[in-house]
Chains A and B, each alone.
Chain A
Amino acid sequence: MAKSKKQLEIPSSGAISKTLTGISGLDEITLGGLPSGRPTLICGEAGSGKTLFSIEFIVKGALDYGEPGVFMAFEEKADELKTNVASLGFDLDKLEREKKIRIDYVHIDRSEIEETGEYDLEGLFIRLGYAIDSIGAKRVVLDTIENLFSGLSNEGVLRAEIRRLFQFLKSKGVTAIITGERGEKSLTRQGLEEYVSDCVILLDHRIINQISTRRLRIVKYRGSVHGTNEYPFLIDDEGISVLPVTSLELNKEVSSESLSSGIDALDRMLGNSGFYKGSSILVSGTAGTGKTSISATFANATCLRKEKCLFFAFEESPKQIIRNMRSIGIDLQKHVDKGYLEFYASRPTLYGLEMHLVAIHKAIRRFKPSVVVLDPITNLITIGSVSEVKTMLVRLIDFLQAEQITVMFNALTLNTVINEQTDEGVSSLVDAWLLIRDIENNGERNRGLYIMKSRGMKHSNQIREFVITDNGLDLIDVFLSEDGILTGSAREAKLLLEQTGEVIHAQAVSRKDRELVRKRKVLESKIDGLRSEYESVEEELNKVYVEEALKKQIMGDTLSKMTDLRRTDFGNIQKPSSKKNKK
């Protein structure tokens, strides 16, 4: 394993061969670790974490890279050191028994020592040489060699010997860390940087607004490219983590897969699908507009899909959130129990912005969620300026997108007048922005939800009324009328009014219908009358006609009879028969 890691560093570092420290983040900044076979100076003020840095270098070397190490302590006794790092889970005793590390405590007390003439530090060389050879050490730490200056008075000899010591370390081919206390004007009190010229790392511990932030900077690294920024780092129960500031490229993978927001109506507004996976969503609004509820619903939906969600709460405690969400019918506790949901609650003032970022990074790396919620980011502003918060969020979004994690930020808009920008100025960074705004009229306050933007998605331009019910959240179409937008009870009233209107209208219509029917009936009866009249007239007419015909016939008959009578025997039989046929 150690070998494969070593091979990895070659292409990244070029000419100089490097040794991985195993300290998370540092190897990224140094592009492969510290220079192999050379001493590196780590300097910083008291309490800046020098000793911890170096012990972690030794322990990680022994455990992860198969490189035994020697820790020469000039400050702390071996026992003290062991106790101090035991809290980080480093069992130095065990490692020492396994001959993976060797701790040597060098104690020089001026009161015990009398200088009687010429001397050198050969004893130290012998000890160091023996310690290195006895376990085949590849790593050496001298912490803090400057203590020699307080124990011995002959500075000339000391300087010459320290120079020789560094030569000795190089000749032994060990990768060494030398720690030094920060001086007033120089990097170290005794000017050790003069002797160590390959790599110098400066640790800093700054307090701004009563909040301390640890930072690390690579002052120089001969023959290697390195990050030049100040990088915040965190010391916690897992040791040191350094945070590389930003990846400079915008070449992240994108996904067109989408995740449901947990609110069906909102998904419909977002082109029927929800948010893109790996996108960043901003939910902003004034106090009490239900931002946390939206986030919790989103978290709930994520957990129901059996995906992991990490909820960073900067305002409320997890228990509070769980209790509050129960009131809208969301049971977050069961997700917590199943391990899909994890809360990470901390007061923003707990530590500096950078530290929050490091802590968030760590938590995300450990839990590997697919959705992250930050509620709210506004509180972070109490510990940093707007621009600082913005840069922090840029870096966070950057990191999350690289990991394909969807993130939802909640931001509080501080003023009631709707500002087009959030106070953190992150609106340009996010992919989707939901704005919840108060709509106040008729002596009540209702919530209206807009989608301000949603990149790469056909989204609704409508304002929806955002309602919080016992069964969760919902969006309702607002009522547009000549009076403007109606929400809440005004909307209900208007709806009621419309319904009444409809009933009345229906009633009116049916009355008219009945009247029509009646009229028709009247008309129909009239038509019947007319028809019968017509029939009687027609009958009358017919009667006249028939009578006429009959009359004619009879007249004809009589006429022919009379003719017959007159003619007597002239074609008697034929004529009456032809007349009969005509009839």
Chain B
Amino acid sequence: MSEEQENNRNVGDEEFYSLRLFIAGASPVSTRALVNIKAICDEYLKGRYELNVIDAHQQPLMVRDEDVTALPMLIKKSPSPKKKLIGDCSDKEKVLKGLGLRF
């Protein structure tokens, strides 16, 4: 397992992650999502990620341009492929899979 994990890490090692998180104000689920994703990023992508947190209510145009439907939504802008993760990021395995850190 450790070997496999090592491989996975190596794949994403050099890449810089640009993430954008849309939340709906300070709703409980939004807060939860923010906390969860920060924890995951700090654990797996330390030092090589940027996380933009956007309040959807404040930026409706951006919501439209990014084709946001469900909230909270985490968009992985880079590396490609572009991926959208919806939900409060409580399912860590799925988040990692979505970020391309797990296959």
Contact = CB atoms under 8 A, between A and B. Distances in A.
A115 B56 contact: no
Contacts of B89: 116-117
B79 interface: no
Contacts of B38: none
Contact of A126 (B29, B57, B82): B57
A113 B85 contact: yes
**4 closest residue pairs by CB, A with B:** A117-B87, A114-B98, A130-B60, A117-B90
Interface stretch (A103-111, A177-185, A317-325): A103-111
Contact of A108 (B69, B72, B82, B87): B69
Contacts of B57: 126
Nearest to B89: A116
A115 B24 contact: no
Nearest to A133: B60
Given A119-B71, A120-B71, A123-B71, A114 B86 contact: yes
Interface of A: 104-108, 112-124, 126-127, 129-131, 148, 152
B41 interface: no
Interface string B63-103: 11001111111100000011111111111001101100000
A144 to B, nearest CB: 14
A77 to B, nearest CB: 11
B22 interface: yes
A114 B60 contact: no
Contacts of B97: 114
A117 to B, nearest CB: 4
Contact of A130 (B32, B63, B74, B85): B63
Contact of A119 (B36, B81, B86, B94): B86
Contacts of B26: none
A116 B60 contact: no
B69 A112 contact: no
A127 to B, nearest CB: 5
B33 interface: yes
B63 A116 contact: no
A127 B85 contact: no
Contacts of B61: 130
A68 B48 CA distance: 46
6 contacts: A116-B86, A118-B32, A119-B86, A119-B87, A120-B24, A120-B29
Contacts of A113: 83-86
Nearest to B23: A122
Contacts of A116: 74, 85-91, 94-95, 98
A121 B90 contact: no
A236 to B, nearest CB: 34
Interface string B19-52: 0001010010100110010000000000000000
Q: Quick one: which of A108, A115, A117, A131 has the most chain B CB within 10 A?
A: A117
B67 to A, nearest CB: 5
Contacts of B36: 117
A521 B14 CA distance: 152
Nearest to B59: A126
Nearest to B82: A112
Nearest to A118: B88
A115 B98 CA distance: 9
Contacts of B85: 113-116
A124 B22 CA distance: 12
A258 B82 CA distance: 76
A148 B86 CA distance: 14
Contacts of A119: 29, 70-73, 86-88
Given A104-B64, A114-B94, A123 B73 contact: yes
A115 B64 contact: no
B70 A121 contact: yes
Contacts of B71: 119-123
B21 to A, nearest CB: 12
A127 B60 contact: yes
A115 B33 CA distance: 12
A134 B96 CA distance: 38
A115 B29 CA distance: 14
Contacts of A126: 24, 56-57, 60, 63, 68
Contacts of B68: 123, 126-127
A130 B86 contact: no
B60 A129 contact: yes
B31 to A, nearest CB: 12
A106 B66 CA distance: 10
Q: Which of B24, B33, B70 has the most chain A CB within a 10 Å cutoff? A: B70
